Structures are given as C-alpha cells and as structure tokens.
Chains A and B, each alone.
Chain A
Amino acid sequence: MMITLRGRKVVGGCAEGEALVTHDTISGWGGIDPMTGTVIETHHELRGVSFKDKVLVFPGAKGSSGWSAAFHLARIAGFAPKAMIFNVMTTKIALGAVVTRAPAVTDLDQDPLTVIETGDWVKVDGDRGVVEVTKKSPL
C-alpha cells in the first residue's frame, strides 16, 4: 500500500530509496563519521548504522555547529543519504540539507516518524514537498 504525506520543500529535487528511521535526533560533527556515512554517537539507536543512499527519517539535528560540514563532507566522500525527512527545523538541519544537496522536506501533514518504518520504500519530491511511502509489509 502507498501512503502520501504533504509538507514543504527544504531542498528541491526528487529521490527515492529505502527508509532509515530513527526517533533520536542526529548529531553531525562528532555524531556521524562522514568518511563511512555511519552514526557513531555513543547512546544513539542507530550507532554503527550507515545512512548512505538511504532516505533518512529523523526528528531533527542536534549538537555541534559542524553539522552541515559533517554532512557536506559525507556528500563529497560519497556517503550522503539520498533524501532527508525531518520534523523540527533548525539552522543546523537547514544548512546541512542545503549543502548535502539531497532532496529534503519538513512540516508534513502526518508524523513521518509514525508513518514510515525502516525498510519502507520512500519517494521524496522536494520541490512539491510530497513524500510517497510504500510499506515493506502490509499494515
């Protein structure tokens, strides 16, 4: 089945891929290893998990002001996520999404952290602010 969520553009463009969902906010610098695209924060539920080529679904950004530079570096090193979907707007995530150059949306009409599960197939249309979710298993 397919679920459609509508929100607003953060970064334009279209991308699709497998969802990687976390209910923990993500730290950039010191929270991820840009050279492997992996979360490294000690108490994080995704510790050791790679977001490369995933549609990253998360509450938002926290921690160091090096957030954008860490994701920017991950893009250059070839380990960036394909798209980003998040709930809470901050300067870290806004700038980080811009320089990651991955389609990104926020302010969705349903909570993406509830609707989307890791492994679902997710299509993000950044320009229209539309997210289409194909569930991996029937609800």
Chain B
Amino acid sequence: MRLTDQEKAMLDGSEGPGKQKAMDLLVRYGEALGAERFVDVTNIAGVPGSSTMFLQNYYKEHGGGSFEDVFSRFDLDSDESVPFPQVGGNCCHLQGGMDPELWREQGMSREAFEHQQQDEAEVVRHGIKVLKTCTPYLAGNMPAFGEHCAWMESSAVVFCNSVVGARTNTEGRESTSAAMLTGKIPDWGFHRDERRPGTHLIQVDVPVESVMDWGMLGYFIGDAVQENIPVVTGKLGQPDLIRHKHFGAAAASSGGVEMYHIVGSTPEAPSLDVALGSNKPRGTIHYGPEERRRVYELLNSSGRSLHVDYVMLGCPHASLEQIGEAARLLEGRKIRSGSSLWLFTSRAVKSVADLHGYTKTIRDAGGLVMTDTCSAIGRMLPQGTKVVALDSAKQVHYLPAMMGIEAWFGSTEDCIQAALTGRWAGEL
C-alpha cells in the first residue's frame, strides 16, 4: 500500500503505540484486500472493547482483562496491551449485550451486568458515543450523502450505502476500532465509484407493499445475488425507512448484499441506466408469486409446533412508528400467560416511546420494550422458550440456528396475535 506521510508516522509509532497497532492492523487488512491506499473516514460505528465473560477471562489469564487489554489484543489484534487514547471524529458504539435495566429478565448475571457497565464507562471516557443499537441512523448518527464511513452491522451498512448514499464496506470489529484511532480505512470496494453501480437486475412481478413483503423480497434477493449489487424494478410501492430497514437486513443475511438500488427510490438510482452505470447484467431475475411462496416456506421451515411461547420484535431495532404499531395492537389486551413478548429498540427511540406512553401500553399488556441488544446478539430468550414468532427475516435467519429453537415468520400483526393467543396462525 502507498502510505501518506501522516499514515507512515502513525505506522512507525510517532503518534503513539495505540495508533501504531491500529495502523499495523489496517495495513495487513488493506494488503489482504489488495487495496492501494487508505481513505479518510469521518463516521465510524463499531463495538470497541466489548467482551463476553469468556474473552475477559481468557485475557485475564493471559496478561490482563481490562478494557484496554481487550481493546489492544482483540480489537487491534496486537500481541501486547497498549494505551488507548481518546478517539477523534464521529465514533459510535453499536449494539451491546443486555438491557441496562431489564438484564435480570434477560437472564443475565449481576457480574455480567457490572462488567458491561464498566465497559460502557470506558467507551464514554474514550469519547465514543453510546448509541447501543444496530440502527444508528435512527438514534443520532445519520451520515451525509457521499460521506466516507467505516461501519459494522450488515443491516446498517446496506442502509448507509443504499438509502443514504454514504460510502462504507462491511467493516468488522477490529477494522472499526482501528479506524476510530486513525480515521483511516482501506480505499476499496464501496468507497470507490466503480464498485457502486448495480450488477444484477431483479424484476418484481408480484405487488410488494407490506413490511413483511419487503423483508421476504430482501431475503429472496440476497440468496439470489449473494454479495452482488441488485437493481430492483417492478411492482413496488415507494418504500419508507422501515421497509428499507427490513429489506436490506434480510438481503444482507441470506446473501452478502452491501448495496442495492431501487430505481426511482434510492439516491444513486434515479434511472435504470444510472443505477447500472457501465455494467451489463446478464439476464433478469424474476420475483413472482411462486418465488414469494418459496421464500415464505423457507423462512418458516424450522416451525413445527404451533404453540408459540415467545414473540420477538425489533430486528433491526424498532423505529418509533413500529413501537407505536405494537402498542396499538396490544392496547387493552393481555399477552397469554406463559408467553413473552420482547420488543427491541435503541435507547434514543425508547425515550420517545416512553414519552408517548407506548412503553407503558406494551408493559400493561405483559410485553417488555428493551434496548441495546436483541435475542440473537445477546443470546437471550425468556426461560423455557421452544418456539418463537418473528416479523424479521433476518432474525429468522439467525435465531433458530443459534439458539436451537423453532421459529415462525410473519407480519407484526401475526406475531402479536401469537403473543395474545399462544398459537401461530400466520399465513401468506
């Protein structure tokens, strides 16, 4: 890689050991990619320094388990611990491991909670914003069009590129932490104009309007194009933020979609020609009634028992409107005894949901609004969960496999009905 004088100074240690280790990792990473240079990034979202009890104990037994130890040795992949200076620029912490108030309900130990509190204090002390969400764009970090970012969280990455028109690759924990110290990331992939045009044409032949349908379409497309860039046209309503959120999250889970174009909707696709640039897609992938039914069946393939004991909403983290919808569907009703409903969102959005009374309405019905995490990230379920109902294709993709449970996929309304009755009655 060709380094600027500033980057060379970081790499040779002139700017301190933290930046040196960060730069060393970024150079190894850039060379692995085949990148030729770095690009300056002004907006960085990661999970710096966070550790499970396993990691903390491992490092404790191998030299030290403090926040800076974990940050140096895991995040910066350094063999020694180095001081970790205040970060510059706009850096935020994405999702965490548990709710700061409802951790007991989530089955977390006091030890783990206290450990998380210590980590969070360190994150604050190092100048990183505690957003604790997979939807930073709903919680106080919305990048600008064209801004170079270094983001983790596949659903946020695809939103950042596609809906905002900012530029990021799917970064990892180590690269975002290193970027927080250096303000650099390899100039590769979606930072570069030539990577952004669409590569695959998707023709939608069945009406796609509901959030559930947008999730299914995303899941289909991710599987069909893998890490390529779909350009979607056809029978589509104008997607709002929630639909983009569910579509992108699904496409990034079944495949590796980091950017998509919806002609007439996303900012780099004013027309089909602009969306494709000089790319000439071979053929067109069709999404019709048959494909729609197959995706629905695939997403419901782990479901056996119709007895639902857990409903999880808020993947990716719920917007205020989604919490309002859940509150409306639950108002004056009671979740069936023995069933649980957990709805996940960010702290920022929850504070407004509290103000609107949504949180209380959901709680009065027997549900809980939780922040920071989700069942997959925190690996947490209500005790005894065997069958979950989900309104997120992404969460269906992960949760049954990770936790060894059955899952049903449907609309938010299907899921809330299941919470009220204890029975799955969703259908396409």
Contacts and interface: CB of A to CB of B under 8 A. Distances in A.
Interface stretch (A50-58, A66-74, A108-116, A117-125): A66-74
B401 A42 contact: yes
Contacts of A72: 74, 77, 173-174
B171 A95 contact: yes
Contact of B77 (A25, A35, A98): A98
Contacts of B99: none
Interface residues of B, number: 42
Contacts of A69: 74, 172-174
Contacts of A3: none
B103 interface: no
Contact of A95 (B153, B175, B301, B397): B175
A91 B169 contact: yes
B174 A92 contact: no
A98 B170 contact: no
A91 B171 CA distance: 7
Contacts of B54: 35, 73, 77
- Dominant SS at the B interface? helix
Given A30-B376, A62-B227, A91 B175 contact: yes
A63 B402 CA distance: 14
Interface in A77-127: 77, 88-92, 94-99, 101, 104
Interface string A14-33: 00000000000100001100
Interface of B: 25, 28-29, 31-34, 54-55, 58, 74, 77, 151-154, 157, 169-175, 186, 188-189, 226-227, 252-253, 255-256, 298, 301-302, 376, 397-398, 400-402
Given A61-B256, A68-B173, 17 more contacts: A10-B32, A30-B398, A42-B302, A60-B227, A63-B256, A64-B253, A65-B171, A65-B173, A68-B172, A72-B174, A73-B55, A76-B58, A89-B33, A91-B172, A94-B29, A96-B172, A99-B174
